[in-house]
Amino acid sequence: MVKKSNKNEKEKKELKNTKNVKDTKKSKDKKVVKKDTKKAVKVKKKPFAEFRSEFSKIKWPSKKEMVKYSIATIVFVVFFALFFFAVQSLMSLLLRVL
């Protein structure tokens, strides 16, 4: 019997806690409003707080990775420049012959 009463008391406390504080809602102007049974509390967010938190999650490439990516980009651009030059040259030769 003692164990059941302890469980009931815990459940009652949890119910009281959930009744006192309702869900947090965000309004259009980015203000966070927490509703309590006694009073409403408005909390303003800092303008760049979200930006800073997202910016801190960025994984910046190392110097070795940057060199590798830069070389790959330059090779890619040169390859396609030569490819399109060759295609244009072949087309102009074909048009001259015909």
Residue 87 has pLDDT above 90, yes or no: yes
Residue 19 has pLDDT above 60, yes or no: no
Which pLDDT score, from 0 to 100, does residue 23 have?
Answer: 47
Higher local confidence (pLDDT), 30 or 94: 94
Span 68-92, mean pLDDT?
98
Percentage with pLDDT > 70 across the chain: 55
- pTM reported for the whole predicted model: 0.44
Return the HEC string of 14-75.
HHHHHHHECCCEECCCCEEEEEECCCEEEEECCCCHHHHHHHCCCCCCCHHHHHHHHHHHHH
